[in-house]
Structure 1
Amino acid sequence: MGKLPLGLLQQFVLVARLGNLSRAAAQANLTVSALSHQMRQLEERLQRRLFERGPRGVKLTAEGCVLLEAVGTHFDGIEHALAHYHTRHHNELTLSASPGIMSSWLVPRLPRLVAAHPELELNLQSGSALVDFEREAVDAALRYGRGEWSGLRSERLFGEWIAPIAAPELVARMGDTDPHDLSRWPLLGDPNPANRWRDWFAHYGGELPRRYVAHFDSFEAHRHAALEGLGVAMGRMVMSKSLIDAGRLVVLGERYMAVTDAYWLVYPPRSQEHRGLQAFRDWLLAEADDYCRRMPGMEACGTIEP
């Protein structure tokens, strides 16, 4: 078999830990097809199947797990040994966020950040998976939850409210149907595992429907279905406000409900001295405070120390 190129094993470790060829390819500055070819080449040389490939990513086989355990710690040791020699560029900032908060809230505000801090070089990564700050070259992330991430500093930006939202076309088709009686409206299943419809009916009264028009595994698809008039979605206001302001969605009955989860700026201790992150953090908290003041019922927003 001969000696394996260290590059192949390094790429294997990256793919194995991320479980996603697209994200691994982006970090390795390769195309997805090139990285996939490298992994197949490694499997052929070892004569072992290392990955199970599926529509949502790749998963290690038993043989793959054995190989990762054998070589992964060695690459960690090399990276740790070389960390002292890495040049830290404080004007470069790598930020991770989910597609929803990235496109709906952050991106529309970025021109103000660029105007205030033209020296910053932003690298924005959009994805739903949580960042592993120990293994990924990411300085900070925007996360949705309760702020309970061990070993990380979390600063609360603002809370979230939910409400039933629908396209004006659907409202027109329903005619004079009472928007407070949601049992008579076509409802879209909630992607949230907690099923916010259950919380909604428990709070405002009524019964869960026996069936939903459709179910979706992502909030983006869920909201798009509402935009197309397929049914009523349980919408997050942070994600949906711009569409509501533009008249593309309406809130049925003008009733809202607060949820316990919130949006947070999260970063590891190593990022605290990063001047680029310090500038971004100050700007972000000011934007969050302004947003809270403009959102009815969100006066309690603010920064909470972890």
Structure 2
Amino acid sequence: MQTPRSFLPSVALLSAFEAVARLGSITAAAQELNFTQSAVSRQVKALEEQLEARLFVRENQSLRITPAGELYAREIGDALQRIRAASLNIRSNPDGGTLNLAILPTFGSRWLAPRLPRFFALHPGVMLNLKTQLSHFDFRTASFDAAIHFGHPHWPEAELALLRSEEVLPVCSPALKARAGFRHPDDLRQQVLLHLSTRPDAWEQWFSLHGTSRGAAHGMLFDQFATIAEATMVGVGVSLLPSFLIQQELESGKLVPIFPLPMESAEHYYLAWPVERAMYPPLKAFREWLVAESSLDG
């Protein structure tokens, strides 16, 4: 069944409306779009006539968006952004083959990025766009083809492929280790325990596995890997960090293991993608390569 034309306004009308709604001014919207004020005003009026809905209330020399207009602006803004992204992708790679990937920043920079030349050598026609995304999102409304996910194997409306597990290791600065003279895992409770927000119970689990004392492990909470790693290196406290992500710091001596007592995290790394995109050629190629690449790490 064909959609009635009244429900498919032109991009020009929608762009004019979205700009006026976002900027709150026909003058500002005209400057942004490089149109005259009268042209923008006519486009907004034409859209209202086509939708048979009032989007703005005109009061003297100003505009006030209506509740219906506010709702429509949010929906249209998301749609136009997706159109812009798709247009940019096709322009940068006219032959197609663009993959939009949401990544976790540290995994992306320290594990994935150094391996990407091998992927591009195998698939030179694929254009890979990377953007940091720390939490779940809805694939139906986001402009991503896939995402790197750390956690349990669950993502609504998506399929997942297991990439790898991780071990966390208690580490600190060399100066702190020399000063504290750690002898037993429970000695760490005398230090400031630094926590990653993605692994808030890690210290309690580690003490349960390797220590003797029980109870909450209080300390400082960090939501960024780079920040907690830096705080650990300057001696703020002790951290449980994924060993495969701190190889540079361990090799350089900026971080040192406190005890050779790692712990495997309950969560794992996955690649997630929407079910309907499973056979999209760039995604299929990247998924098969990424799973194979991950297997090399054991």
| TM-score (normalised: structure 2) | 0.67
Shift of the 78–166 alpha-carbon distance from structure 1 to 2, 3 Å rule, reads: closer
- Kindly indicate whether the alpha-carbon contact (under 8 Å) linking 1:191 and 1:222 is maintained by their aligned counterparts in 2: no
Name the SS of the counterpart of 1:255 in structure 2: coil
What is the Cα deviation at residue 93 of structure 1? Answer: 1.4
The correspondence of residues 122-271 of structure 1 with structure 2, limited to 5 A, is: 122-174=128-180, 176-178=181-183, 180=185, 181-192=187-198, 194-205=200-211, 206-207=213-214, 212=219, 214-271=220-277
Mean CA deviation greater in 222-231 or 129-138:
129-138
Q: What amino acid does structure 2 have at the position aligned with 1:178?
A: R
- 2: CA distance between counterparts of 1:287 and 1:106? 10
CA distance in 2, matches of 1:10, 1:209: 50
Contact 2:196 2:224 (8 Å CA) reproduced: no
Stretches of structure 1 that go unaligned for 5 or more consecutive residues are 15-41, 49-62, 293-306
With over 3 angstroms needed to count, the CA separation of the structure-2 counterparts of 1:132 and 1:68, relative to structure 1, is farther
**Per-residue deviation at 1:13?**
9.7
Counterpart pick for 1:277 among 275, 283, 286: 283
Q: Is the radius of gyration larger for structure 1 or structure 2?
A: 2
Check the 8 A contact 1:183/1:207 in 2, yes or no: no
In the alignment, the residues of structure 2 paired with residue 147 and residue 241 of structure 1 have an alpha-carbon distance, to the nearest angstrom, of 26
Pairing 1:114–2:120 present:
yes
Q: Which amino acid aligns with 1:149?
A: W
Q: Which runs of 5+ in 2 are unaligned?
A: 1-11, 23-55
Secondary structure of the residue aligned to 1:260 is: coil
267-276 vs 235-244, which moves further: 235-244
1:57-109 residue CA offsets vs partner (Å, 9 max, x unmatched): xxxxxx98x655445556789999xxxx9979542211111112111211121
2-structure distance, mates of 1:113, 1:121:
11
C-alpha distance 130-77 of structure 1, shift in aligned 2 (>3 A): closer
Distance in structure 2 (CA, Å) of the matches to 1:77 and 1:6: 10
Alpha-carbon distance, 1:190 to partner: 4.0
Cα distance, 1:9 vs structure 2: 5.0
Distance in 2 (alpha carbons) for counterparts of 1:260 and 1:266: 18
Give the 3 Å change call, closer, same or farther, for CA 12–98 of structure 1 in structure 2.
farther
**Cα shift readout 1:175-204 (whole Å, capped 9, x = no counterpart):** x33263312333224424643212222222
Aligned-CA RMSD value: 3.7
Equivalent of 1:6, from 10, 14, 21?
14
**Shift of residue 169, structure 1, vs aligned partner:** 3.0
Q: Aligned in 2, Cα 1:135/1:10: closer, same or farther, shift over 3 Å?
A: farther
Partners of 2:63 and 2:135 in 1: how far apart?
A: 30
* SS at 2:118 equivalent: helix
Distance 2:16 2:231 in 1: 42
On the 8 A contact 2:193/2:217 being kept in 1, the answer is no
TM-score norm. by structure 1 comes to 0.66
**What is the aligned partner in structure 2 of residue 27 from structure 1?**
none
Identical positions, percent:
27
